[in-house]
Structures are given as C-alpha cells and as structure tokens.
Structure 1
Amino acid sequence: MPAVQNAPLIALAEEEAALIRRAAAGEVQAIRQIIRTHNQRLYRLVRAVLRSNADAEEVLQEAYLKAFANLAGFNGEASLATWLSRIALNAALMRLRAEKRLKRASPPSAAEAEIIPFPFSTATTDPERIMAQRQLLHLVEEATDALPEAFRLVFVARVIEGLSLEETAALLDLPPATVKTRLHRARKLIRTRLEAQIGPVLIDAFPFAGTRCDRLTEAVIAKLGLSE
C-alpha cells in the first residue's frame, strides 16, 4: 500500500530527472521549461537581496547560465528548485558584497528605487479596486524592502514564496528556530510600518465613487423611469 501511495512522487521525480537530462543535453525546450517553472521564485529571492529590479534580472541571468553550465553535475541530493535557489541566492549575495566593497555610499539610483510588481488579480474591471490593489501592494513592497536583509530573506521565502520552515532553513543555511524568530520579527516590523502608513487614510476606506457610483446612479434613474 505505501508503494502505491508514493507512486505519484516517484513519477514526479522521474519526470524531473528526465527534464534535467534533456536540459543538460542542450535541449532548448527543456531549458525553457525549467526557467519558466522556477523564474518567479528565483527572481523574488534575488530581488529580496538586491532590492533592484535591474540588478535582480541581471544576476538571475548569470545564475541561470552557471546552473545550466553545471547541470550535468546535478546529483539530485536536493530538489532542482532548491539547487537553483541556492545558486541564485549565492549569486545575489556575491553581487551585494562586491557592490559594498566598491561603494554604495552614493544615493540610490532610479532603478534601485523601483518596486517589484508582485502579481495580483486584474480580473475585475473596476478601476477603483485595481487602484486600491496597486496602492496596497506598493505599501507591502515598500515595507518588505525596508526590512533588514536577514529578516527580508526569511520573510520572502516563508510568506511570499510559501516555502516550508525546513525548506527555508535549508535554503538559507539557518537553524529552524532562527527562521521562526526572524519571521516573527519581520512580520512585526512590517505590521508596524503598514499600520503607520495605512492608519491616517482609513477615513477614506470603502469609497463608493467613480465607476461604481455612476453605475448605481444610472441604474436607479433608469428604474425610476426618469430621463434628462
């Protein structure tokens, strides 16, 4: 019975192994599939270190080149996702240390001031709701960027990427207890920052204006049988 229950996991492992072999052999479609599967997680991890969209994209490209150059030596001790994450994270940390050695006493550039646009649903066509989503995400992004690096990495891995406690500890080479502590501190810092920013504008919460207001107004007028 246990063998039957583990069958999907075995099939998944075999499928990943086959994909890795194809990519290591230089098959473009396999390489493309690996990149598309892991792109979002790796980008966010690198961005959490560098806090620059442009730098994150450049470093991620370098990390992919290194990974695919060494893919034939991938031994499967960790999952492909974990292996790629470690390569990307190490590349980002190396870039950060190099930048600190060179300078970074100068003011941040425009690129560094940009905020990563985390995905959100745009299924609604209500411009007010979309604007509110954008504003809220912008506040969350700013609060995340403001975290100390040690807390920021844990927060991005655990909360934004949804990695487990064990996965995060392995990725960052930290004891699980340290991950718990840093996550708690990160959440507290973000909550404090968001409360300070959101509190003053709560008086304007739940607006009913713009498109929604116009739509309701016209519907009422129509049902009343009135016209201008």
Structure 2
Amino acid sequence: MAVDRKTLDKAVGGTLLVGVLGFLVLSSPWTWSLTHPGRTLPDLAGADLANGRNVLLASHCANCHESAGQNNDTLLGGGRKLDTKFGVFHMPNISPNKTTGIGNWTLEQFDRAMREGVGPGGIFPDGRNLYPSFPYTSYQRMTGEDARDLYVSMMSLAPVSHQAADHELKLPINLRRGVGVWRLAFLDGKRGEEGPSPEGVDVALYKRGEYLVEGAGHCA
C-alpha cells in the first residue's frame, strides 16, 4: 500500500523530534542529578581553611592548571595544553579571578563541578557538561566537607588574569552536550569502598590516605 508524501514527512519529522527530545533529556545534567540523589554539602560558615589547603596540596591542581611559564603552584591561571587523540584540551583558569577564572562561582557551583562534572553557564539552563579530562569521576569520592574546604582554600589564592583558549576537539567529541550521556553511563556518584587496613598501621591515618588517593589525589 502506497504511503502519501505528507504522511511520510510527518512520520519522519515525528521520529526526529522524539530523537532530539530524547537526546536532550539523556544528556541533561538534571537527569543525572535526579537519578543520583543524596549528595550533601555543609554550610560555608563551618569551613576549615587549613584542611582545605591540605586537600589542595593532595589534589595538586597545579599539575594541569598552573599558569603557563610559572613555577608557582598557587597561581592557577591555566594555559597549559593536553594533547590527546580526541584533540587538544586547554587547561582553564581556576584562580579566583572574577573575569577569567572561577571567582564568581558559588560554593554550590564549585561543588557541582567537582563532584558532578557540571559547570555554570552553557546554552541551556541545566548547566554545562565538563569533559572528564577534568577527573570528576575521582573527585566524586570527596566528602562535602572537603569540597567546601577546598573551595575556601582556592578562593584565598591570588587571582590570575588570563583567558584560556577554547578546546580544539574533533567531532563528535566537541559536542559538549553529548558528554551528559557519557556521565549518565559512567559517573556512578558513589564514594567508593574502603579496603582492609594492613596490620600494624594507624588505621585512621591509613583510611585518610586511601580516601585521598581514591578521590582528591587523582592528579598528584
């Protein structure tokens, strides 16, 4: 039985519309958040700056974000390049500069970037998916207290005025929205499981070290 052109066009258009809407839903940061509830964030008022500095040292953010041409791990103006088979990632400015860095980020925005892989901004109101070259798959293991303290520590550093270049990535990797589907598939939202402690060690100290290695210390 022949199908008239108008009916066929409607069927194709409807299928495309459903596909686009499905992609937008699956790739939305909100979808991941709704399916992975339970993350808590303590009040900023109780922040421990000394602990935040320890977490910052364990994280060694300067490995990627230290200002290019500098030898100072407290200047996090970015500018370095990470050349991969997917293209070139340009390390962003994560200093507290309010124009070119993260100085205008709230604690909630910082925590969402660290533990969910979603930054502020973007075309849609649900946020901007971050590429997993920023290892939030490890940072998701951090406690809310450590994320908060790290935020306070980073905001106490010197602001650096430097606008990092945009990433130079290949298709389809450069379609940032699609990272949301990757997050939904591979970002489990779990703190991780503690292993047994060796005999003869300070258990509390060992557990803290294990936690830092599995979480904040990914880039150290």
Q: Same fold (TM over 0.5)?
A: no
> Which protein has the larger Cα radius of gyration, Structure 1 or Structure 2?
1
Instruction: Work out which structure has the larger RCO, using CA pairs closer than 8 Å and 6 or more positions apart in sequence.
Output: 2
Higher strand share: 2
Higher helix share: 1
TM-score (norm 1): 0.23
TM-score (norm 2): 0.24
